[in-house]
Amino acid sequence: MYQRKSNLQNLIIITIDGIVLVLSMALANYFRHGRFFRGTNSPADIRILMAIFLVVFLIVNLYKNFYQNMLLRGPFQEIIEVLKMSLVTLAGGTMALYFTRIIDAYSRKVLFYFVAIDVLFTFAAHQIYKKYLPLFYRMSGAGRQILLVAAKEEAGALVEEMRGIRDYSYQIKGMVLLSGDAGSVDGIPVVAARDGLVDYCLGTSLDEVIICADRETEEGLLREMENLAAMGLTIHLQIPVLELREAPQRMLSQFGRFHMITYANRVMPFGQLLLKRGMDIAGALVGTLVLAVLTVFLFPIIKLDSPGPVFFAQKRVGRNGRVFRMYKFRSMYVDAEERKKELMARNEMDGLMFKMEDDPRITRVGKFLRRTSLDEFPQFINILKGDMSLVGTRPPTLDEFEQYKTYHKKRLSFRPGLTGMWQVSGRSDITDFEEIVRLDVEYIDNWSVSLDLKILIKTVLEVFTGNGAK
């Protein structure tokens, strides 16, 4: 899955500036008329004025990108750009008022106050945004973890270019040298040599790989790149590009002065990804409220049934190898992990997963929790944190992940889910791990919001009918 970071950054700052615009107009009206959201001639006048200026602001930003190189601008450049944006919005809004005559009369002082307040507040918002943007990416999980691949001669220049971008949406995981030998390159650790590239990518948390090399070397990396693509990783490949003064626009990925052809398993529409995350948050908030009620009733029942904690936290492998703790209501005895080794011979799954009917490690209450899927409710906390999604792929355990082949890791290129394609295609009746991988990859290749909704509906039906639950 590949998603352009600029879309997310632009959407965030445009949303912030839109909110600031509305607040600035309300304050301007208060300074002039002593009220925030009521006009003088008509109570709705100021709200109509806000709506017109907000629409003009959004239209202006469709044609003129005031946020280009925003992260590189100093305070003086920033306030100049903010002032230009506010004045253009004022001009467009005034023209719209003149031609539409939608408001019979409006205060010029309100517009004057608006520009002054909007410039001040927008400038402050931009400075705060730039200061705390790295924290946002760390907390939201929206950041990208990137591996750099280059010959020793190009490695230093690549690191320098990446650091000059000042894009907080990525974190450099390390460097793989195609030639030469070094422990680090400008502070970036060398994590592997060329022959260890695939193994390193298979075993670590990673989203994207940037490869800078000459054409002959890149052609020699074809097999390695095929393996990386099979894992679902995004690959940026440097290519030589001529600069033409008469044709300056290029439809290429660019990292500093390095131009790349970008390969991805699938380019996901940003709007749909945003909608999916919105559904996750809304669903997780409702699920967390239900979880709070369930905990009140299940806490004493689980405690009385067997000694041990009420909640069970297990390390799982999430999107592109990220390790997180997945929460459940405890349905097994506390020594379940130790006893698993003794039961491996009775494993009913063909492949890397473990599952058996009448598992003696499951408590009496645990059987009820699993049959009704109530044990899954604490995972709404994982969804709220961003570790998981409502719909996705099954997150493997650490020992399963250690045995993965390259094509298995592709199922981790999507955020793991509370439910997914394989759960509504037989759930526990499926005993072939490769079939689960096939269904997960099918889900990734055909993903859409409508598919998520279908899977959610099927999941609810499965839970209420009890089909496939063990």
Residue 326 sits in the same domain as residue 440: yes
Name the one residue in this structure whose structure tokens are 């295609």.
425
Query: Is 10:67 a contact under the CB 8 Å cutoff?
Result: yes
Q: What is the number of structural domains in the chain?
A: 3
**Under 8 Å CB-to-CB from 120, ≥6 apart: which residues?**
none
Residue 186 sits in the same domain as residue 256: yes
288 found inside a domain:
yes
Residue 287 sits in the same domain as residue 250: no
Predicted pLDDT of residue 3: 41
Of 140, 171, 201, the residue that ends a domain is 140
Predicted pLDDT of residue 163: 76
Predicted pLDDT of residue 275: 85
Helical packing angle, 449-465 and 270-305, nearest 10°: 20
Main-chain dihedrals φ then ψ at residue 353, nearest 5 degrees: -85, 160
Predicted pLDDT of residue 213: 85
470 found inside a domain:
no
Rounded Cα–Cα distance for residues 333 and 305 (Å)? 10
**pLDDT in 10s for each residue of the chain, 470 residues:** 444 445 566 777 888 888 999 999 889 888 887 777 766 666 667 788 888 888 888 888 776 767 766 766 778 888 888 898 889 888 888 888 777 777 766 677 888 888 899 999 999 988 888 777 655 555 555 567 889 999 888 888 888 888 776 555 677 889 999 887 878 888 889 999 888 999 999 988 888 899 988 888 888 889 999 999 888 888 888 876 666 565 555 556 667 777 676 777 766 777 788 888 889 999 999 999 999 999 999 999 998 888 889 999 999 999 888 999 999 999 888 877 777 666 765 665 666 666 666 777 888 888 888 888 899 999 999 999 989 999 999 899 888 888 888 888 888 888 999 998 888 876 556 767 888 888 888 898 888 889 999 999 998 888 777 664 55
Residue 257 sits in the same domain as residue 308: no
Residue 207: give the domain boundaries: 144-263
Of 140, 158, 174, the residue that ends a domain is 140
Main-chain dihedrals φ then ψ at residue 187, nearest 5 degrees: 90, -10
Residue 174 sits in the same domain as residue 308: no
**Under 8 Å CB-to-CB from 176, ≥6 apart: which residues?**
147, 148, 149, 150, 190, 191, 192, 193, 194, 196, 197, 200
**H/E run at residue 375:** none
Of 140, 174, 207, the residue that ends a domain is 140
220 found inside a domain:
yes
Rounded Cα–Cα distance for residues 454 and 419 (Å)? 11
The CATH number of the domain where 154 resides is what?
Answer: 3.40.50.720
Residue 310 sits in the same domain as residue 443: yes
Q: How many CB atoms lie within 10 A of CB 12?
A: 16
Residue 321 sits in the same domain as residue 292: yes
**pTM summary value:** 0.62
Q: How many residues does the chain have?
A: 470
